[in-house]
Chains A and B, each alone.
Chain A
Amino acid sequence: MCASPPMMTSVEGIDYALRVSDLGKSYVKADGTGFRLHQVTMDLPMGYIMGLIGPNGAGKSTLIRLLLNMTRRDSGEISILGRDPLNQEEDVKADLGVVFDSIYFPEAWKVKAVEPVMAPMYPSWDSDRYHDYLRRFGLQENRKIGKLSRGMQMKLMLAVALSHDARLLILDEPTSGLDVLARDELMDILLDYIGDGRHSVLFSTHITTDLERVADFVTYINRGSVFYTGPKDELMEAFQVVRGGPDDLAGAQIPYLMGLQRSATGFEALVPAEHLKDFLASASPAAVEPSEDRYLVERADFDNIIRLTAGSPAATDRNKEVES
């Protein structure tokens, strides 16, 4: 599907930073409702950035926790940098840099307590680099970690993750506490990080504008299943958003759309690019050419795709929303 990039020698020769196949996990949440991650399959070639998107509660964090053995998988295979994290956990994790959505150090510690703890954990800890990052991020060694802002805490985790030559960065909602400047800075750091083609990034977020430029691949998880995984540009070209007045949607058009939202003033539909012609052609006062004037057709961005597909395949049971 994806035009094989000239950088890759051959399809067989691709090294993967991460391969997941048929991963499954089901459990009962504290509130008694069940959750199921179902047959998740995705591949991230070495040297690229993959975004993990989807509404809250779709299973992004569960997937990341499964990658890290923080919760046990029921079925499926995981390969991180060519190794199974169940059998070779310590080798795998020495090569991973991880950033969570909130700090994983005790809040009572000071920033300067972090290095003595983390440095012995990694054979290739680079103290100079770590201190460079602290300086660059404006992290003061004498501050208590609990007193740092969310953004600063994220930067502290990022500094650790970038200072032991990790081959794969796994970032779980890193941008949620960051302003635009800091998010931009993070994107620069990530692009710089994968610059040599040996390093890769898996990055979950609900702030999709970050990903729209920077990600090479996207995995969209919805209700515990993979809706799409592959090159980002292909996902962005796969759909069009069609908007029209309240009476402009005919029953015959419904089969051609993937998601729908109606309001008093009109409707918004997600239409696969290959069905756009059929969709427009089957408008109720059948008029092929003029129907384009009735509708506003735009390229769908991630937010449109998520918003219009999150409910269900046909978006009919939108009330039964999946919560976080």
Chain B
Amino acid sequence: MKLIISSLSGQPIYRQIEDQIRSAILTGDLKAGEGLPSLRHLSQELRVSVLTVTRAYTELAQEGLVENIQGKGTFVADSGDQVMRQHLEDRVQSLLGEAVDTARRAGMDPDRIRGLLDILLGGKGSAPASEEGKE
């Protein structure tokens, strides 16, 4: 598994780890049932604190993407990719909802909004939306 950590980006390190594991699950790089590196091993590899990795794993577990099995380690949940996809779809829906609201306030008509969306979709492929803070 590839993990790249930036210490300059404003994003907390645990969030970076979380995001990259999340997208690895989504793209299928990490398959259901596959084990994640142990906390302490990953902390050594990335040269970041154990608690930072712990936090990333804990949040992934709370989302249902991974499971922690006592004494064995952390594994990608069976339905990890489905949960992930569902999670992302929910997010896209809410972001689009926000975009539409803003567009209405700006007085844009539906065709204009669709047009913009087409431009965005045409410009890039599928953008893995996983940055920026909430709200």
Contacts and interface: CB of A to CB of B under 8 A. Distances in A.
Q: Is A in direct contact with B (CB under 8 Å) within the complex?
A: yes
Interface of A: 2-3, 5-7, 47-49, 184, 187-188, 191-192, 194-197, 212-217, 231-233, 236-237, 298-299
Size range of the interface on B?
A: 20 to 34
A147 B50 CA distance: 37
A103 B103 CA distance: 67
B49 A232 contact: yes
B116 interface: no
Nearest to B10: A299
Given A47-B50, A187-B47, A233 B12 contact: yes
A216 B58 contact: no
Given A6-B58, A6-B68, A236-B12, A216 B50 contact: yes
Given A3-B55, A6-B61, A233-B55, A215 B12 contact: no
Contacts of B47: 184, 187-188, 191, 213-214
A217 B55 CA distance: 13
Contacts of A6: 54, 57-58, 61, 68, 74
A192 B44 contact: yes
A2 B54 CA distance: 11
B42 to A, nearest CB: 10
B10 A298 contact: yes
Interface string B58-89: 11010000001000001000000000000000
A231 B55 CA distance: 11
Contact of A3 (B40, B44, B50, B58): B58
Contacts, number: 71
B54 A5 contact: yes
A169 to B, nearest CB: 15
22 contacts: A3-B55, A3-B59, A5-B39, A5-B54, A6-B57, A6-B68, A6-B74, A47-B50, A49-B49, A188-B44, A191-B47, A195-B41, A195-B44, A196-B40, A197-B40, A213-B13, A213-B47, A214-B47, A232-B51, A233-B51, A236-B12, A299-B10
B7 interface: yes
A191 B43 contact: yes
A237 B55 CA distance: 13
Contact of A217 (B44, B48, B51): B51
A22 B74 CA distance: 38
Interface in B1-30: 7, 10, 12-14
Which 5 A-B residue pairs are closest in the complex by CB-CB distance?
A: A216-B51, A5-B54, A6-B68, A216-B49, A191-B44
The residue among A47, A196, A233 with the most chain B CB atoms within 10 A of its own CB is A233
Nearest to A9: B70
Contact of A194 (B14, B40, B55): B40
B80 to A, nearest CB: 16
Nearest to B74: A6
A299 B6 CA distance: 14
A215 B49 CA distance: 5
Nearest to A193: B44
Given A6-B57, A213-B13, A298-B10, A233 B52 contact: yes
A202 B49 CA distance: 13
Contacts of B43: 191
Nearest to A213: B48
